[in-house]
Structure 1
């Protein structure tokens, strides 16, 4: 029987996230769930896998938390369990940018539905930025998207501040469209750009995963596969398991039948 995988997040205000950990951990253990969930004052983020019933019970619990009724969830399937264990972690941020004053609940860019995304990024006046890390972009991205070549999301603010004049200088006020795997990084990125004074900012609602789920391959502007942080490595259109594996030497994602570049390092 196929394993249900749920990628989820929600920016919310948790006054005492530490008090939420034990009940959530216990519920996941009882339901046979594996994967990672991150709790912080700014909300919850993670990907979990298990039986359909087990996943449903955890999601019901999460939606009952303060501010989480509209929890963002993307479902996919795996032939075998894609995680080795369960982790429920407490952190300062549910996705680490290192900019403590950024609050997506206070100000964020405009959400763009997957079926409207192609028109936005095809506009020559739109700057399209992939907010993911370089090793993720190498597996797949949207046509003509800028790759900041970051190694972690924490590097994104430094990259933008260094490149701002080149991107937005000379009095230009282009639209900026950003995307990420499931929506959380691009949501925080748009909040960051708004705080930096950039007004015309957009992000892909539900991220790449929702786009690959909703937009047929024949109409898609996506090139390649989408890297995911589990043993499936990458997903294609329809959120089917992709054609990549992790190099056992360096950990990079490599297409099936290809040699990893580390062999030449």
Structure 2
């Protein structure tokens, strides 16, 4: 994989959604800036001319989306299309950090939020309002309030939304202070 994506003739494409890409990706990878994988086929069609005659290497978190993306690209007539088998997670599990071309953390769809090399839990946190992963600068933003808002959703949410989120956060903190199981919204 490292040799393939280091080849100047290879276009490396991150098939994940923009919020996943925001905390980590492979060096030099193209980010299609999709909000949903359903948008990816249209992106490939729009950029097909740039991909024809080139080696294309695609990757995703666990290997499923990039496998589908590879099949779709081949159905459009692209020939030298490859994907990272087992996805980023397998890569981070097997490739030593000193040999890795991965930059940042990998978003995961569980309470860990992100992982790094060796599948060690990362440092990213999750905005409980919009579910976007948050890094250090996000947490320092004036638009960040735990459980209520972050720089990615603050301007898209109403005061009423933030009031609801604040009440939910209050209930979460109260339950935790009383030693009860985490609130269902968490």
TM bucket normalised to smaller: 0.7 to 0.9
Q: How does 1:172-191 map to 2 (within 5 A)?
A: 173-191=53-71
Structure ranking higher in strand proportion = 1
Which SS does the other structure have where 1:262 is aligned? coil
1:122 aligns with 2:6: yes
| Deviations, residues 161-197 of structure 1 (Å, cap 9, x unaligned) | 01112333xxxx1110000001111111111111111
The one of 205, 210, 216 equivalent to 2:96 is 216
Question: Hey, what does 2:74 align to over in structure 1?
Answer: 194
Counterpart-to-counterpart distance in 1, 2:95 and 2:152: 34
The one of 138, 142, 152 equivalent to 1:262 is 152
| Deviations, residues 65-94 of structure 1 (Å, cap 9, x unaligned) | xxxxxxxxxxxxxxxxxxxxxxxxxxxxxx
Question: Hey, what does 1:137 align to over in structure 2?
Answer: 21
Counterpart-to-counterpart distance in 2, 1:142 and 1:160: 19
| Deviations, residues 31-68 of structure 1 (Å, cap 9, x unaligned) | xxxxxxxxxxxxxxxxxxxxxxxxxxxxxxxxxxxxxx
Counterpart-to-counterpart distance in 2, 1:226 and 1:164: 27
Segments of structure 1 that go 5 or more residues without pairing to the other structure are 1-116
Question: Hey, what does 1:61 align to over in structure 2?
Answer: none
Higher relative contact order (CA 8 A, sep 6+): 1
Structure ranking higher in helix proportion = 2
Q: 1:233 to 1:198 in 2, by over 3 A?
A: same
Q: 1:176 to 1:264 in 2, by over 3 A?
A: same
Q: What is the TM-score of this pair, normalised by structure 2?
A: 0.74
Counterpart-to-counterpart distance in 1, 2:153 and 2:61: 28
Q: What is the TM-score of this pair, normalised by structure 1?
A: 0.52
CA-CA distance at 1:258 after TM superposition:
3.9
C-alpha contact (below 8 Å) 2:93/2:117 kept by paired residues: yes
CA-CA distance at 1:132 after TM superposition:
0.5
CA-CA distance at 1:249 after TM superposition:
3.0
Segments of structure 2 that go 5 or more residues without pairing to the other structure are 142-149, 156-186
CA-CA distance at 1:263 after TM superposition:
7.0
C-alpha root-mean-square deviation of aligned residues, in Å? 1.4
The one of 137, 162, 187 equivalent to 2:46 is 162
1:242 aligns with 2:122: yes
Counterpart-to-counterpart distance in 2, 1:197 and 1:264: 42
